[in-house]
């Protein structure tokens, strides 16, 4: 049987139905359009966020290890934790395969200057931090052992911060005010960008002992960065450190562990939002079904006539399923296009509101378009089935005498 | 319109010479019962009758006597509750839904009082509609539909939509649609009911012409003048055959 002929006619009928009832068709597919749009946006922004996080972590380098007494990776240290001690960190020297390590105490201060007032991340650390994090200096010097010993008020600041504070002056030896203390700039870092939670360009580094003194946390640290000579040594070092510290509340991360954890989290996040969008798409199918039922009720005589001139129940069934699929696919195309635009818009909005070195982006993949399209197809089939079945079961005689 | 006039006209038909011709359709003890909430309605009761090829039959009767029901059964659009129908010698109760649809599409053409043209299709597409379900290719369809439109004298109107056509023109398009697959049987249910006398005559003339070309034509009507044009008249009352002017029928 030459079924492609009838396929073309179904397409034409479906198109005619949509074009003669434009407003109604539009309203019926609003649910589909929004479902697909949300799906596209959540998937693309979700994927963009995942990549952004991955890039940040990758920038960390494969030969770095981070130890913390808590999952203290986030900057808002609002939660309680049993701190690591400096004494515990001292013992890292015993671990074979460690090139350098630096204890870290992080904090944030409100910085007041004539031109601005802003919360600035502050890290207290030791001179070895320069080697561990591979920090190059633009001007001046890095923190020295002497600074730590004397709890000096010397700080190293990021390049962007320096330009902010001292746009027309040499920042070296200038005073900066943190809280109610005054500090002297001894060095300016070269531009490095945001790597792994820390924006070195906007940050203040001060001697560990100084920050401990200010915060009243003598001997406490939040975590430590450890550098191994080669990436393939990290696993072995991590094992040794676990034994050494023998603390359950200590987490030891390397790039790989962080990547897989964040990857899992962001993927789960992306798909949980995505499935909500899928549900809304499913609900959108009800709108389509409604309109098809109305359309069938309106076209009872048409169905009767088609049967009188030789259409089988199957012809009628296929015609209506076709119309349903045509409606939902049209809706999903509109949703995909709107989703592309909206995704980019949201990424742009995030970039203006929450600027960071790694840009926010909406990552569109063929797979998400495929998911949207595929799912709408099924929604169309599923919700078209009942109206189509109803239409195909009409008794042609009754249908023809129906007014 | 009094029944005596009708009966007189039937008697006239009876005087016509009898011609024997092959049987196209035979109804044996056909009954049709509709079950409603308020009780059952017997629309047709125990109908026996034969339709011959090249016959021109009119079905006459008061409203609600079962004329349309009989026509639908003849057109294989509905199944009888009881009895058998043989179409071209084939017991149609043995046919699948698909085969019935094919018979309807290829061997039978319907013309309705309300025209039943699809408003979203133009005249040509309306005429071509039955061919879609016979999977005739697009070019062929167009050619055949145009031919049928020419036959009813409406080739000029092929791109007009139903709302742009007068009642008479609409009915001619509907006739063209009934013709397009060159059926052997044309069934018309009050084809002139919605038209004025002049238009009615024109439509009737067209049906007569088709009959002369060899098609079997059945016309349901209220109008005795139209019924008189037919070779035979079947008079229905309360779902029963009250009288049938039989010609060539070996009873
Ligand atoms: N689908 C149906 N359901 C229930 N009863 C029906 C149905 N169709 C017809 N009837 C009944 O069957 C009887 C015959 O109806 P039919 O339409 O055949 O009459 P008719 O002779 O064509 O009348 P008219 O001249 O008014 O068109 C009527 O009593 C009608 O009420
Ligand atoms: Mg009737």
Please indicate whether, in this complex, the C-beta atoms of A312 and B133 are within 8 angstroms of each other.
Answer: yes
Which among A9, A16, A401 is the nearest to B120, CB-wise?
A16
Q: Classify B80 as helix, strand or coil.
A: coil
Token pair for residue A255?
């790039």
Please indicate whether, in this complex, the C-beta atoms of B75 and A308 are within 8 angstroms of each other.
Answer: yes
How far is the C-alpha of A305 from the C-alpha of A327, rounded, in Å?
A: 24
How far is the C-alpha of B152 from the C-alpha of B158, rounded, in Å?
A: 11
Which among A3, A6, A310 is the nearest to B104, CB-wise?
A310
Residue B215 has pLDDT above 90, yes or no: yes
Long-range contacts of A282-286 (CB under 8 A, 24+ apart): A282/A35, A282/A379, A283/A31, A283/A35, A284/A29, A284/A30, A284/A31, A284/A32, A284/A33, A284/A34, A284/A35, A284/A328, A284/A331, A284/A379, A285/A31, A285/A32, A285/A328, A285/A379, A285/A380, A285/A382, A285/A383, A286/A31, A286/A383
Burial of A131 (0-12, 13-18, 19+ CB in 10 A): middle
Token pair for residue B59?
């079905």
C-beta separation of B210 from B217 below 8 A: yes
Residues 6+ apart with CB under 8 A from B250: B20
Lowest mean pLDDT among A108-112, A364-368, B62-66, B193-197: A108-112
How far is the C-alpha of B131 from the C-alpha of A177, rounded, in Å?
A: 89
Burial of A291 (0-12, 13-18, 19+ CB in 10 A): buried
Q: Classify A173 as helix, strand or coil.
A: coil
Q: In 3D, which of B27, B31, B17 has the Cα closest to residue B51?
A: B27
DSSP letter for B65, please: S
Runs of H (alpha helix) within A158-254: 159-165, 208-215, 234-245
Q: How far is the CA of B66 from the centre of ligand 1 (A)?
A: 6
Please indicate whether, in this complex, the C-beta atoms of A5 and B138 are within 8 angstroms of each other.
Answer: yes
What's chain B's Rg over C-alpha atoms?
18
Tell me how close the Cα of A13 comes to any Cα of chain B, in angstroms.
Answer: 9
Q: Classify A381 as helix, strand or coil.
A: helix
Token pair for residue A45?
């922004």
C-beta separation of B26 from B12 below 8 A: no
Ligand lying closest to the C-alpha of residue B63:
1
Query: Quick one: how far is CA B9 from the chain centroid?
Result: 21
- The mean pLDDT value of chain A amounts to 84
Ligand 1 proximity of B41 Cβ (cutoff 6 Å): yes
Q: In 3D, which of A33, A53, A51 has the Cα closest to residue A362?
A: A51
Chains A, B: CB pairs < 8 Å: 76
Give the pLDDT of residue B70. Answer: 95
Which among B69, B133, B135 is the nearest to A309, CB-wise?
B133
Please indicate whether, in this complex, the C-beta atoms of A311 and B118 are within 8 angstroms of each other.
Answer: no
Please indicate whether, in this complex, the C-beta atoms of A310 and B177 are within 8 angstroms of each other.
Answer: no
Going from the C-alpha of A133 to that of each of A55, A62, A198, A371, the distances in angstroms are: 17, 12, 11, 42
What's chain A's Rg over C-alpha atoms?
32
Partners of B97 on chain A (C-beta within 8 Å) are: 312-313
Q: Compute the average pLDDT of residues B31-57.
A: 91
Q: Are strands B90-91 and A64-68 parallel, antiparallel or unpaired?
A: unpaired
Residue B1 has pLDDT above 60, yes or no: no
Q: To test ligand 1's pocket by mutation, which of B43, B227, B235 has the most ligand atoms within 8 angstroms of CB?
A: B43
Token pair for residue B182?
């060159």
Partners of A9 on chain B (C-beta within 8 Å) are: 132
C-beta separation of A92 from A252 below 8 A: no
Q: What digits encode the pLDDT tens for the residues A36-53?
A: 999 899 888 888 888 888
**pLDDT tier, B21 (very low <50, low <70, confident <90, very high otherwise):** confident
Burial of B222 (0-12, 13-18, 19+ CB in 10 A): middle
Q: Compute the average pLDDT of residues A263-278.
A: 82
Ligand lying closest to the C-alpha of residue B70:
1
Burial of B154 (0-12, 13-18, 19+ CB in 10 A): buried
Ligand 1 proximity of B63 Cβ (cutoff 6 Å): yes
Ligand 1 proximity of B247 Cβ (cutoff 6 Å): no
**pLDDT tier, B5 (very low <50, low <70, confident <90, very high otherwise):** very low
Q: Does A357 touch chain B (CB under 8 A)?
A: no
Q: Does A2 touch chain B (CB under 8 A)?
A: yes
Which residues are A131's β-sheet partners? none
Partners of B67 on chain A (C-beta within 8 Å) are: none
Q: What digits encode the pLDDT tens for the residues B124-145?
A: 999 999 999 999 988 999 999 9
Give the pLDDT of residue A295. Answer: 85
Q: Does A310 touch chain B (CB under 8 A)?
A: yes
Q: How far is the CA of B120 from the centre of ligand 2 (A)?
A: 26
Kindly write down the DSSP assignment for every residue of A240-258, as one continuous string.
Answer: HHHHHH--TT-EEEEHHHH
Q: Compute the average pLDDT of residues A311-335.
A: 91
Going from the C-alpha of B16 to that of each of A185, B19, B209, the distances in angstroms are: 126, 9, 20
Q: What digits encode the pLDDT tens for the residues A334-384?
A: 999 999 999 999 999 988 887 766 778 888 888 889 988 898 999 999 999
Give the pLDDT of residue B16. Answer: 44
Q: In 3D, which of A82, A57, A62 has the Cα closest to residue A238?
A: A62
Q: Classify B142 as helix, strand or coil.
A: helix
Going from the C-alpha of A59 to that of each of A49, A142, A369, B73, the distances in angstroms are: 15, 22, 30, 81
Tell me how close the Cα of B134 comes to any Cα of chain A, in angstroms.
Answer: 8
Going from the C-alpha of A173 to that of each of A153, A162, A179, the distances in angstroms are: 11, 12, 19
The values of phi and psi at residue A266, to 5°, are -70, -35
Q: Compute the average pLDDT of residues B207-226.
A: 91
Q: To test ligand 1's pocket by mutation, which of B33, B68, B223 has the most ligand atoms within 8 angstroms of CB?
A: B68
How far is the C-alpha of A67 from the C-alpha of A211, rounded, in Å?
A: 19
If you take atom 14 of ligand 1, which residue's CA is the nearest one?
B66
Which among B106, B116, B138 is the nearest to A310, CB-wise?
B106
The tokens 């635009």 sit on which residue?
A341
Q: Does A9 touch chain B (CB under 8 A)?
A: yes
Ligand 1 proximity of B67 Cβ (cutoff 6 Å): yes
Ligand 1 proximity of B35 Cβ (cutoff 6 Å): no
Q: How far is the CA of A403 from the centre of ligand 2 (A)?
A: 13
Q: Compute the average pLDDT of residues A310-335.
A: 91
Tell me which of B76, B77, B128 to substitute to probe the interface with A (most A C-beta atoms closer than 10 Å): B77
Runs of H (alpha helix) within A21-82: 22-58
Please indicate whether, in this complex, the C-beta atoms of B132 and A2 are within 8 angstroms of each other.
Answer: no
Half-sphere exposure of A142 (CA within 13 A, CB side): 17
Lowest mean pLDDT among A15-19, A391-395, B174-178: A15-19
C-beta separation of B30 from B82 below 8 A: yes
Residue B13 has pLDDT above 50, yes or no: no
Give the pLDDT of residue A357. Answer: 64
Give the pLDDT of residue B19. Answer: 54
If you take atom 1 of ligand 1, which residue's CA is the nearest one?
A398
Q: What digits encode the pLDDT tens for the residues A288-300?
A: 888 888 888 888 8
Q: Compute the average pLDDT of residues A199-215.
A: 89
**pLDDT tier, B7 (very low <50, low <70, confident <90, very high otherwise):** very low
DSSP letter for A231, please: G
The pTM assigned to this predicted structure is 0.72
Give the pLDDT of residue B3. Answer: 45
If you take atom 30 of ligand 1, which residue's CA is the nearest one?
B64
Q: How far is the CA of B104 from the centre of ligand 2 (A)?
A: 19
Partners of A5 on chain B (C-beta within 8 Å) are: 132, 135-138
Please indicate whether, in this complex, the C-beta atoms of A16 and B138 are within 8 angstroms of each other.
Answer: no
How far is the C-alpha of A365 from the C-alpha of A360, rounded, in Å?
A: 16
C-beta separation of A388 from A378 below 8 A: no
Going from the C-alpha of A335 to that of each of A24, A33, A48, A322, A360, the distances in angstroms are: 17, 4, 19, 19, 22
Nearest chain B alpha carbon to A21: B120
Q: What digits encode the pLDDT tens for the residues A107-150?
A: 888 887 766 777 888 999 999 999 988 888 999 999 999 998 99
Per-residue three-class SS string for B171-221: HHHHHHHHHCCCCCEEEEECCCCCCCHHHHHHHHHHHHHHHHCCCEEEEEE
Lowest mean pLDDT among A85-89, A133-137, B186-190: A85-89
Partners of B122 on chain A (C-beta within 8 Å) are: none
Which among A8, A311, A396 is the nearest to B133, CB-wise?
A311
Q: Compute the average pLDDT of residues B181-193.
A: 93
Ligand 1 proximity of B43 Cβ (cutoff 6 Å): yes
C-beta separation of A267 from A50 below 8 A: yes
Give the pLDDT of residue B11. Answer: 47
H-helix or E-strand spanning residue A63: none
**pLDDT tier, A71 (very low <50, low <70, confident <90, very high otherwise):** very low
């Amino acid at each position: 049987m030459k079924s492609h002929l009838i396929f073309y006619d179904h397409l034409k009928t479906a198109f005619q139905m949509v074009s003669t009832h434009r407003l109604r068709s539009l309203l019926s597919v609003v649910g589909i359009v929004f479902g697909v749009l949300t799906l596209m946006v959540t998937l693309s922004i979700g994927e963009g966020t995942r990549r952004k996080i991955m890039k940040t972590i990758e920038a960390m380098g494969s030969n770095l290890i981070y130890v913390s007494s808590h999952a203290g990776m986030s900057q808002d240290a609002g939660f309680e934790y049993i701190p690591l001690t400096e004494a515990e960190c001292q013992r890292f020297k015993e671990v074979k395969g460690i090139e350098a390590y630096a204890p870290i105490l992080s904090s944030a201060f409100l910085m007041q200057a004539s031109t601005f007032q802003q919360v600035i991340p502050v890290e207290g650390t030791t001179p070895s931090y320069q080697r561990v994090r591979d920090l190059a200096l633009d001007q001046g010097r890095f923190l020295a052992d002497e600074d730590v010993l004397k709890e000096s008020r010397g700080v190293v600041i990021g390049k962007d911060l320096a330009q902010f504070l001292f746009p027309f002056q040499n920042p070296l030896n200038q005073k900066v005010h943190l809280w109610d203390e005054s500090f002297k700039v001894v060095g300016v870092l070269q531009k490095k960008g945001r790597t792994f939670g820390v924006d070195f360009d906007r940050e203040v580094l001060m001697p560990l002992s100084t920050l401990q003194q200010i915060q009243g946390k003598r001997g406490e640290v939040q975590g430590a960065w450890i550098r191994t000579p080669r990436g393939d040594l990290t696993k072995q070092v991590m094992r040794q450190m676990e034994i050494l510290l023998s603390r359950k509340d200590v987490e030891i991360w390397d790039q790989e562990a962080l990547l897989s954890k964040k990857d899992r989290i962001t993927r789960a996040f992306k798909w949980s939002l995505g499935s909500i969008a899928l549900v809304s798409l499913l609900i959108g199918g009800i709108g389509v079904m409604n309109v098809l039922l109305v359309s069938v009720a309106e076209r009872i005589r048409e169905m009767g006539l088609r049967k009188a001139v030789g259409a089988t129940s199957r012809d009628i069934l296929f015609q209506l399923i076709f119309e349903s699929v045509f409606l939902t696919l049209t809706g999903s195309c509109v949703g995909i296009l709107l989703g592309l635009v909206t995704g980019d818009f949201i990424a742009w909005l995030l970039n203006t509101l929450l600027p960071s070195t790694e840009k926010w982006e909406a990552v569109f993949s063929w797979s998400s378009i495929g998911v949207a399209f595929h799912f709408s197809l099924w929604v169309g089939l599923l919700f078209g089935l009942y109206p189509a079945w109803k239409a195909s079961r009409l008794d042609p005689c009754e249908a023809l005498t129906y007014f | 319109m009094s029944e005596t006039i009708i009966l007189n006209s039937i008697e006239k038909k009876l005087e016509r010479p009898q011609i024997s011709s092959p049987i196209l359709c035979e109804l044996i003890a056909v009954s049709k019962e509709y079950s409603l909430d308020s009780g059952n309605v017997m629309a047709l009761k125990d109908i026996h009758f034969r339709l011959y090829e090249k016959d021109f039959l009119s079905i006459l009767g008061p409203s609600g006597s079962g004329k349309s029901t009989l026509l639908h059964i003849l057109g294989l659009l509905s199944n009888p509750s009881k009895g058998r129908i043989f179409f071209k010698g084939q017991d149609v109760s043995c046919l699948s839904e698909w085969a019935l649809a094919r018979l309807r599409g290829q061997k039978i053409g319907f013309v309705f009082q309300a025209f039943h043209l699809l408003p979203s299709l133009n005249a040509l597409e309306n005429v071509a509609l039955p061919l879609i379900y016979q999977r005739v290719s697009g070019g062929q369809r167009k050619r055949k539909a145009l031919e049928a439109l020419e036959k009813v004298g409406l080739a000029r109107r092929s791109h007009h939509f139903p709302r742009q056509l007068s009642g008479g023109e609409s009915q001619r398009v509907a006739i063209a649609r009934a013709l397009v697959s060159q059926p052997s049987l044309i069934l018309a249910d009050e084809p002139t009911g919605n038209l004025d006398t002049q238009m009615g005559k024109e439509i009737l003339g067209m049906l007569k012409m088709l009959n002369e070309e060899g098609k079997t034509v059945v016309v349901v009507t209220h109008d005795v003048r139209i019924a008189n044009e037919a070779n035979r008249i079947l008079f229905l009352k309360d779902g029963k055959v009250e009288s049938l002017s039989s010609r060539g029928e070996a009873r």
